[in-house]
Amino acid sequence: MLLRHATIAGIGAAIFCTMLLTEPASAGSHHRHYSAPKISTPIVIDGVMDDPAWNAAAWTELYVLYGTLDGVPETATRAKIVWDDTYLYIGVEAEDHDIWATYTERDSPLWNENVLEVFIDPEGNAINYMEFEVSPLNTILDLWVETPLFSQGGPAHFDWDAAGLRTAVHIDGTLGGADPNTPERQDTDTGWSLEFALPWEDAAIVSGTMALPPEPGDTWRINLTRYDYRNGDRELSQWSPSTVDGAWHEPSEYGHVTFTLQPTVVEAASWANIKDTVK
């Protein structure tokens, strides 16, 4: 399947007001912080981050290699978070030179292929949290986990579906399958993007005492992660880095996302400029 579109550099403007990739590892300083502004116009979920509402939000810091505080992945990933009275919106742009996926059924083991992930713990108390995965085929895996944590053998509810979840992806290149020798896998792609809209009522299963929708000033624990498979290798990266061994699922390592009413000043930057910054 051939999908040719404008490059990701043209899909959305970029900002990195505070590049924290080299932040010293003092106590707690590795946790990312993000201000998510409230928007007045709903976002059209089509995978292309060109809605004017996205311009109210800054880009996150670039994801870092899993297991490090400042390791630079081979392919860059960044995101934006906004909200309104109905949805939590997350948009992600992922540089990717070999875009491929095979799973088409919901709740397949998407972590075995290329995937973008969202972890949400509204109360930040590591008691219950949600996990969402979306592949380049827009296949979804969604579940919620209760105490003890998944990494500690706790129950993961794969049978739960976020009934109102809306996602869409946008491919800049050729979407390939499992065979690395096909033309779609042998060419060089640019990347793909995800738009994700989670209704607040679907978050009620783990929200505890947190207001839905959030009150301005509320802070949730959220992390954004990625599996990137290429040339037989797997690269894991995440927005808020982990310092706990095996902490992919540890809510204590998620970033702090504060819901605000104020937009963030956004400065445009291209992928090329970003790459020069992090080299």
Which residues does residue 56 pair with via DSSP β-bridges, in sequence order? none
Q: pTM (2 decimals)?
A: 0.86
8 A C-beta contact, residue 169 and residue 138? yes
Q: What span, in angstroms and rounded, lies between the C-alpha atoms of 145 and 130?
A: 6
- For the chain, give every domain's residue range: 2-278
Beta pairing class for 129-134 and 140-145:
antiparallel
Q: Which CATH architecture has domain 2-278?
A: Sandwich (2.60)
Q: Quick one: 171 exposed, middle or buried, by C-beta within 10 A (0-12, 13-18, 19+)? A: buried
Q: What is the pLDDT of residue 245?
A: 67
pLDDT per residue rounded down to tens, the chain (279 residues): 333 233 333 333 232 232 222 233 334 578 899 999 999 999 999 999 999 999 999 999 999 999 899 999 999 999 999 999 999 999 999 999 999 999 999 999 999 999 999 999 999 887 889 999 999 999 999 999 987 666 667 788 999 999 999 999 999 999 999 999 999 999 999 999 999 999 999 999 999 999 999 999 999 999 999 999 988 899 999 999 987 766 788 888 899 999 999 876 555 555 455 545 444
Rounded to whole angstroms, how far apart are CA atoms 31 and 23?
10
Q: What is the pLDDT at residue 251?
A: 87
pLDDT score of 265? 52
